[in-house]
Copies of this chain bind each other. A is one copy, B any other.
Amino acid sequence: MKLVLVGFGNLGRGLARTLILKRRTLRSSYGINPRVVAAVDEYGAAVDERGLDLRKLLQVAEKKGSAADYPRKGKKGRSAADVIENVEADVVFELTPTNIRTGEPGLTHLQKAMRAGRHVITSNKGPLVVAFPELDRLARRSGVEFRYSASVGGAVPVIGLARKLLAGNEVRAVRGVLNGTTNYILSRMSKEGTPFDVVLREAQEMGIAEKDPTLDIEGIDAACKITILANALLDRNAKLKDVDVTGISRIKPEVTRLAQETGNAVKLIGVAERDILEVAPKLVPIGHPLAVGGTLNAITLETDLAREISITGFGAGPWETSSALVGDLIDIHRTLGA
């Protein structure tokens, strides 16, 4: 399979490393021979239709900062749009940073790739919260596969869980701890009674929270993810603006401590039901599958036969995200083989 990687930062490089690590498994267990024919970032592209040398590509990108410095076959200034449309490929991975207002540049990349007849796999929440219904329609019309497991929950395969493993069940509601940063902050506040500001500062020092933590602590990131899940699993046509959002920045340590004393944990929960779409702090009984600590993500699917099924794991990190990206690749290969 010929692959194009659009975006060659942390996630693109993590995927390249994973493809090196898993080359043998992909071939022997799944009959997939992945060949990365292009990697493009904001500075330019490396292109080789016979397949790039991924080790060399990683070395160059680490050292010089861009895939475009790939020897001979790299070209500064060659754009993602050009590569997507003109380099023959089976699958385009869209791995650029998320912009939740415009969805760009990911949105344009996905549209161009679909129109060019490429299957697409993305980790980018932006296009999904801005234009999911449009993208879903375009994929169908173009006859291409469209996968976005990595956009929600990192390594946690919640979309596949609902669609593949709970086939036969009707999913009635989705509830989840969808943001690792806020979960870490709330877990520490509740364990130690430390105030929000102090824990946030420490989380920033540890690299768990970003310098500008707004998207996480105000619940926007979780709102993006519950939007994606509502569309994917409940057939809604939701956009980010449809979500009622309350963050965690005004939660006092007394509240988390009191919750704990009564056998509960305060968690930032995203909820999607037929008529509900919200993110807000809620009490969860200790012992409930959503009462997970640390930076974990957890999602509960409420279904008719299986009742509540929950899935838990790490929602971020390049290896974890690669697990979802490679899972989507294998799934597309299986689907096409059918």
Given A161-B157, A296-B289, A323 contacting B303 (CB threshold 8 A):
yes
Q: Kindly specify which of A72-80, A126-134, A238-246, A312-320 makes contact with the partner chain.
A: A312-320
- Judge if A22 is at the interface, Cβ distance under 8 Å: yes
Let me know if A310 and B312 touch, CB within 8 A. yes
Interface of A is mostly: mixed
Interfacial chain B residues near A187, Cβ < 8 Å = 287
Let me know if A323 and B287 touch, CB within 8 A. no
Given A168-B323, A168-B326, A287-B291, A155 contacting B334 (CB threshold 8 A):
no
A138 to chain B, nearest CB (A): 23
Let me know if A327 and B292 touch, CB within 8 A. no
**Alpha-carbon distance between A292 and B322 when the two chains are bound, in angstroms:** 28
Let me know if A327 and B165 touch, CB within 8 A. yes
Given A309-B311, A314-B306, A323 contacting B292 (CB threshold 8 A):
no
Pick the contact of A155 from B309, B322, B338 — CB < 8 Å?
B309
Q: Which of A139-192 contact B (CB under 8 A)?
A: 155-157, 160-161, 164-170, 187, 191
Let me know if B313 and A312 touch, CB within 8 A. no
- Judge if A207 is at the interface, Cβ distance under 8 Å: no
- Judge if A18 is at the interface, Cβ distance under 8 Å: yes
Interfacial chain B residues near A165, Cβ < 8 Å = 157, 160-161, 164-165, 327
Interfacial chain B residues near A18, Cβ < 8 Å = 168, 305
Residue of B nearest to A291 (CB): B287
Residue of B nearest to A335 (CB): B338
Pick the contact of A294 from B164, B287, B294 — CB < 8 Å?
B287
Known A-B contacts: A305-B326, A306-B324. Give 11 more (CB < 8 A): A18-B305, A30-B167, A157-B165, A161-B161, A164-B165, A167-B327, A168-B327, A303-B323, A306-B314, A309-B311, A309-B312
Q: Which 5 interchain pairs have the tightest Cβ spacing? A: A287-B293, A155-B306, A305-B323, A157-B165, A306-B323
